[in-house]
Structure 1
């Protein structure tokens, strides 16, 4: 068996664990997410434990990757080359946060929720994909006019 098989298997297992975790934690329930975000109203703090767990696992993952020369199933880490906090990042983050607060779904839980077959989730995912395609077309057009590769990802080895 070659490396591509193991990469695919690791991706599948990671996605299944992530989706199961989202389901188990209640992140697939938009009403529960909106209740967590409603700190001035009928606040439900239960998702704070989910957030704390996610940050803890992510922090351990970052610490582990700093000790590795390369990932287990790839030649190098894939890190974005742009580390500038600019207007585009702030506006995009605000749009993401507003959408998450209004709808109660973000991309991961939305994709996991497709398995429930709810029309509202299907509409959300279709609108999300359309928005991504429109954004990519606009950024690609703007980038080609400016002669650069906005948002490009480079293959970097992570420093030790």
Structure 2
């Protein structure tokens, strides 16, 4: 129960951050990717802030025996960079560039622009189902 409340609060904070920073607006994301046109650097500042917070979190995590709200840390077991990782990153980047959304902002965009979010999330879920069917 406690972990669910922490997850809800964390997700709400993340969603609020996306809304305040304007990252649920596909035009802002496309503006960031348009480096030769009307470039919008806002996303660079959002990413920089996220990297700064995550860097601090990694330093804190190294000094902790276990997380505050869980029994153990859930860290990646490998650092392997393989075809699947690169392919997934490319697919993510292409989808992000075309739609101007990625999974987090797409869920939040249901409030702002439900139709576009529905199309994106529907495609994302279809891709997840296809991946599971192919990988099984």
TM interval, shorter chain, is over 0.9
TM-score (norm 1): 0.81
Secondary structure of the residue aligned to 2:75 is strand
- Are residue 46 (structure 1) and residue 46 (structure 2) matched? no
Q: Given the alignment, which residue of 89, 93, 96 partners 1:93?
A: 89
Residues 116-158 of structure 1, C-alpha deviation per residue, up to 9 Å, x if partnerless? Answer: 252111111011011112112211x2xxxxxxxxxxxxxxxxx
Q: Map 1:14-29; keep pairs closer than 5 Å.
A: 14-29=10-25
- Structure that is richer in helix per residue: 2
Q: Map 1:52-67; keep pairs closer than 5 Å.
A: 52-67=48-63
TM-score (norm 2): 0.95
Unaligned runs of 5+ in 2: none
Q: Map 1:1-160; keep pairs closer than 5 Å.
A: 5-139=1-135, 141=136
* Inter-partner Cα distance in structure 2 for 1:117 and 1:26: 13
Residues 24-58 of structure 1, C-alpha deviation per residue, up to 9 Å, x if partnerless? Answer: 00100001100011111111112211111111111
Secondary structure of the residue aligned to 1:44 is coil
* Inter-partner Cα distance in structure 1 for 2:79 and 2:119: 33
User: Following superposition, which runs of at least 4 residues in structure 1 exceed 6 angstroms of deviation?
Assistant: none
Secondary structure of the residue aligned to 2:16 is helix
Residues 6-34 of structure 1, C-alpha deviation per residue, up to 9 Å, x if partnerless? Answer: 11111010000000000000100001100
Number of aligned pairs? 136
Residues 63-98 of structure 1, C-alpha deviation per residue, up to 9 Å, x if partnerless? Answer: 111111111121111122232001111111011011
Structure index of larger Rg? 1
Does 1 or 2 have the higher relative contact order (CA < 8 Å, sep 6+)? Answer: 1
* Inter-partner Cα distance in structure 1 for 2:120 and 2:97: 13
